């Protein structure tokens, strides 16, 4: 939300998607009278897939979109490479207006700048793993020798060297999605679009692939839009998270912001069960040092454990168990705040009353 | 209505819309446009004759060997044995049976080539466009259900008797399954695979060639198999408009109650049908059924390939 506009790799502005024959009329009616989703279905027989979505993704950022099934995530992400035409709104990729592109420019953008991974994997069953991975190069007419070299390198990145000549149905589900990832990475695109890439996999395999993805991502710094219906996954992977409900982006923020300051009851319900230990920082639960001194009188802080403001609750617990004193939070050698045991426990619970009191 | 009193209980007898005369006008139109129709007819006649010449010029044993090898390639060892047996039986039916079979085969080949040329594009169109599919479906139903004799007459009126009319009549009857199954095959392609191809920058033509047609191919080949079988089933009717071959034997046997000719013609057609069925049924196996081996890695071609690999 606070991204400088110029540096955004992807900027989505006021996207609406209304499915149905009479989507134009429905759009006008919404603009005029502000109809609800249900009224639109009854009056125009149209379905509102995405409702006025705006966000931007900075270069190299991982942007998660989280929401329940049917909330419009797949519809929204398909606007970025224009697999779906918006009813209203504009998408910009690195300053270029995707909505205004001609057919050939759009195909070039898809083949060279954007890689996509699908929940259903969507590999081509009649092509070898290598030919699947090299598909985007093949449609751009690259020579065979380059296609093989590029595909094999991409397969190596996802630990599938040696499987080039196999067919997709000879691979396990997890390996198939590795192929999907390799296909998205093959053309070395600047942007990755991932539509619930790991949702169809067993929990164990899912963890493995998340690991592979995060390693690659730390190495390659691709701008990524990552869709998931799993908040844990969103928190683990995302630099920022957008929560989507019924086609609306209800909140966009860092994982810590989403968890500690949910925008409404819907988000609050969602994040209620999330562990705050590795998410919330000392800065969020501490009492400012001046306020503490004012309330408790001057303090002798020798012997107090000292933490930093960006320390997670988990690390503060480690400091706290060793002593009976509160934890002193210091930045650049200056004390800036105090975390009492009570504030720490409340912080783990996700409640804020110590600060409010 | 003018000359007879109008009968309310039988109004049809006194109404004449002149449809018969109007239809007769088609014949007049065809006659007056002879110079337009004749060159086209001549072209197709030349093609059919050329195919027949080639088939007749090949010595029967060479032809037999070629067909058995093709069957081995497409349908495996057992298919090859069946094809070989049927061809030997066909040849032994009567001294002239082989030649008659080749004439019939030439007509079938010509009809099937034209069916593919017409049916594949129409089938693809029907697979991609719901409106076109809805429009063409009743036409296909009609083509398959109306008796051949109904369109035999107009076709002969426009083009005259002979091979070309025979091929046209055959196409009308044999074309529908190819269109239907091509459309079905295209519609059956997993939409998420097509979407992935689009997401990686493929153009509509590339999606058709690299994704849709390969994935629809087993279904399309099943349609081709049916088209070939239906073409063969038309040979007796086609012989009524002076097409030579096995069908003509059956027709003449019917006229004279000649049991010998009937058996030669009838069994000959059956043998030819089994041969063509065996060869084309094997084509439809998907890559998965073949254990992901390419066609040149199996059958006689596989032997040759292996031999090459060994010597190099
Ligand atoms: N092509 C379509 N036609 C009509 N409705 C659609 C279409 N695609 C999606 N929808 C509807 O839009 C809503 C959002 O779907 P989707 O984007 O697939 O949700 P998600 O990916 O979050 O599960 C759903 O209610 C769905 O039924
Ligand atoms: Mg989805």
Give tens-digit pLDDT for B155-210.
Answer: 888 888 899 999 999 999 999 999 999 999 999 999 999 999 999 999 999 999 99
Alpha-helix residue ranges (DSSP H) falling in A158-198:
173-186
pLDDT digit string, tens, across residues B64-104 = 999 999 999 888 899 999 999 999 999 999 999 999 999 99
- Smallest Cα distance from A19 to chain B, Å: 18
- Smallest Cα distance from A105 to chain B, Å: 10
pLDDT for the residue B296 = 75
Nearest ligand 1 atom to alpha carbon A247: 14
pLDDT for the residue A93 = 96
Between B303 and A327, the higher pLDDT residue: A327
Tell me the chain A residues in contact with residue B190 when contact means C-beta distances shorter than 8 Å: 122
For A332, the enclosing helix (H) or strand (E) is none
> CA A180 to CA A192: how far, in whole Å?
12
> CA A124 to CA A9: how far, in whole Å?
30
A window 222-251, beta carbon within 8 A of B: none
* Tokens 């639109």 -> residue: A40
> CA B117 to CA B298: how far, in whole Å?
29
Structure tokens at A124: 């081509």
**Start-to-end CA span in chain B (Å):** 90
pLDDT for the residue B289 = 67
Q: Is the CB of A139 less than 8 angstroms away from the CB of B196?
A: no
pLDDT for the residue A1 = 42
Cβ density class A319-352: b for 16+ within 10 Å, e for less: bbeeeebbbbbbeeeebbbbbbeebbebbbebee
Residue A261: is it exposed, middle or buried by C-beta count within 10 angstroms (0-12/13-18/19+)? middle
Neighbours of B295 (CB within 10 A): 14
> CA A53 to CA A63: how far, in whole Å?
14
Number of Cβ pairs < 8 A linking chain A and chain B: 68
pTM metric for this prediction = 0.87
pLDDT for the residue A353 = 52
> CA A86 to CA A24: how far, in whole Å?
11
Of B196, B202, B288, which is closest to A122 when you measure between CB atoms? B196
- Smallest Cα distance from B128 to chain A, Å: 17
Instruction: Looking at the CA of A195, name the nearest ligand.
Output: 2
* A107 in B contact zone (CB under 8 Å): yes
Tell me the chain B residues in contact with residue A110 when contact means C-beta distances shorter than 8 Å: 198-201
Using pLDDT thresholds of 50, 70 and 90, give the confidence band for residue B4. Answer: low
Of A110, A120, A193, which is closest to B201 when you measure between CB atoms? A110
Q: Are A285 and A311 in contact (CB under 8 A)?
A: no
**Cα torsion at B28, B32, B36, B39 (round to 10°)?**
90
* A163 in B contact zone (CB under 8 Å): no
A72 CB under 6 A from ligand 1? yes
Q: Is the CB of B210 less than 8 angstroms away from the CB of A116?
A: no
A2 CB under 6 A from ligand 1? no
> CA A31 to CA A211: how far, in whole Å?
44
Structure tokens at A295: 């309330």
Spell out the residues 6+ positions from residue A319 whose beta carbon is closer than 8 angstroms to its own. A305, A307, A327
Give the Å distances, CA to CA, from B169 to B35, B115, B154, B274: 22, 11, 10, 22
Q: Are A348 and A277 in contact (CB under 8 A)?
A: yes
Residue B285 has pLDDT above 80, yes or no: no
Q: Is the CB of B199 less than 8 angstroms away from the CB of A139?
A: no
Structure tokens at B29: 């139109």
pLDDT digit string, tens, across residues A73-122 = 999 999 999 999 999 999 999 999 999 999 999 999 999 999 999 999 99
What DSSP state is assigned to residue A98? G
Using pLDDT thresholds of 50, 70 and 90, give the confidence band for residue B35. Answer: confident
Q: Are B112 and B228 in contact (CB under 8 A)?
A: yes
Q: Is the CB of B197 less than 8 angstroms away from the CB of A135?
A: yes
A79 CB under 6 A from ligand 1? no
Structure tokens at A44: 């125009």
pLDDT digit string, tens, across residues B5-32 = 778 888 888 888 877 787 777 777 777 8
Residue of A103, A124, A151 best to disrupt the B interface, most CBs of B under 10 A: A124
Tell me the chain A residues in contact with residue B201 when contact means C-beta distances shorter than 8 Å: 107-112, 136, 139-140
Structure tokens at B107: 């007509």
pLDDT for the residue A352 = 63
Low pLDDT (below 70) residues in chain A? 1-7, 352-357
pLDDT digit string, tens, across residues B204-224 = 999 999 999 999 999 999 999
Using pLDDT thresholds of 50, 70 and 90, give the confidence band for residue B268. Answer: very high
Q: Are B205 and B74 in contact (CB under 8 A)?
A: no
Query: What number is the average pLDDT over the span B267-279?
Result: 95
Give the Å distances, CA to CA, from A32 to A14, A35, B3, B59, B228: 16, 8, 70, 82, 61
> CA B29 to CA B158: how far, in whole Å?
8
> CA A240 to CA A63: how far, in whole Å?
5
What DSSP state is assigned to residue A20? S
């Amino acid at each position: 939300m606070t991204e400088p506009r110029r540096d955004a790799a992807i900027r989505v502005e006021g996207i609406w998607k209304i499915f149905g024959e009479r989507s134009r009329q429905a759009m006008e009616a919404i603009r005029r009278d502000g109809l609800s989703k249900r009224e639109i279905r009854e009056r125009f027989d149209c379905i509102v897939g995405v409702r006025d979505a705006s966000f931007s993704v900075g270069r190299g950022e991982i942007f998660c979109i989280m929401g329940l099934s049917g909330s419009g995530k797949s519809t929204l992400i398909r606007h970025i490479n224009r697999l779906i035409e918006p009813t209203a709104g504009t998408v910009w990729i690195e300053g270029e207006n995707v909505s205004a592109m001609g057919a050939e420019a759009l195909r070039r953008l898809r083949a060279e700048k954007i890689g996509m991974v699908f929940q259903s994997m969507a590999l081509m069953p009649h092509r070898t793993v290598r030919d699947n991975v090299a598909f985007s190069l093949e449609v751009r007419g690259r020579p065979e020798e380059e296609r093989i070299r590029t595909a094999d390198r991409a397969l190596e990145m996802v630990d599938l060297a040696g499987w080039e000549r196999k067919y997709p149905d000879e691979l396990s589900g997890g390996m198939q999605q590795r192929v999907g990832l390799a296909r998205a990475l093959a053309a070395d695109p600047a942007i990755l679009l991932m539509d619930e890439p790991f949702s169809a996999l067993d929990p164990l395999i899912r963890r493995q692939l998340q690991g592979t993805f995060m390693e690659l991502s730390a190495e390659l710094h691709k701008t990524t839009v990552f869709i998931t219906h799993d908040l844990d996954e969103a928190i683990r992977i995302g630099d920022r998270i957008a929560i989507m409900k019924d086609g609306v982006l209800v909140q966009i923020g860092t994982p810590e912001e989403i968890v500690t300051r949910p925008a409404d009851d819907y988000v609050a319900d969602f994040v209620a069960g999330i562990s705050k230990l590795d998410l919330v920082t000392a800065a969020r639960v501490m009492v400012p040092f001046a306020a503490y001194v004012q309330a408790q009188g001057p303090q002798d802080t020798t012997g107090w454990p000292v933490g930093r403001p960006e320390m997670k609750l988990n690390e503060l617990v480690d400091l706290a168990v060793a002593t009976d004193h509160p934890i002193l939070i210091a930045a650049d050698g200056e004390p800036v705040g105090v975390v009492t045991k009570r504030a720490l426990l409340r912080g783990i619970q996700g409640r804020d009353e110590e600060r409010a009191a | 209505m003018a000359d007879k009193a109008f009968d309310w209980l039988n109004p049809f007898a006194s109404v004449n819309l002149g449809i018969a005369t109007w239809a007769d006008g088609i014949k007049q139109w065809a006659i007056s446009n002879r110079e337009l129709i004749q060159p086209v007819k001549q072209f197709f006649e030349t093609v059919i004759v050329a195919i027949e010449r080639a088939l007749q010029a090949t010595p029967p044993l060479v032809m037999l060997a070629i067909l058995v090898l093709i069957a081995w390639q497409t349908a495996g060892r057992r298919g090859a044995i069946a094809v070989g047996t049927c061809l030997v039986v066909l040849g032994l039916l009567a001294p002239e049976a082989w030649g008659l079979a080749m004439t019939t085969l030439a007509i079938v080949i010509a009809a099937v080539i034209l069916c593919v040329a017409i049916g594949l594009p129409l089938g693809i169109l029907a697979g991609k466009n719901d409106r076109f599919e809805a429009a063409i479906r009743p036409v296909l139903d009609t083509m398959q259900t109306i008796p051949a004799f109904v369109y035999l007459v107009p076709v002969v009126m426009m083009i005259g008797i002979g091979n070309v009319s025979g091929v046209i009549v055959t196409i009308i009857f044999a074309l529908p399954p190819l269109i239907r199954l091509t459309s079905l095959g295209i519609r059956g392609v997993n939409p998420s695979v097509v979407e992935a191809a689009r997401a990686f920058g493929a153009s509509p033509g590339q999606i058709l060639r690299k994704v849709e047609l390969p994935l629809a191919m087993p279904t399309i080949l099943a349609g081709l198999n049916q088209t070939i079988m239906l073409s063969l089933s038309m040979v007796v009717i086609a012989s009524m408009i002076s097409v030579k071959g096995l069908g003509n034997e059956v027709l003449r046997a019917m006229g004279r109650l000649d049991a010998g000719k009937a058996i030669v013609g009838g069994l000959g057609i059956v043998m030819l049908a089994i041969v063509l069925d065996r060869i084309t049924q094997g084509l439809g196996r998907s890559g998965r059924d073949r254990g992901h081996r390419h066609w040149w890695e199996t059958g006689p071609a596989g032997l040759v390939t292996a031999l090459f690999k060994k010597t190099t």
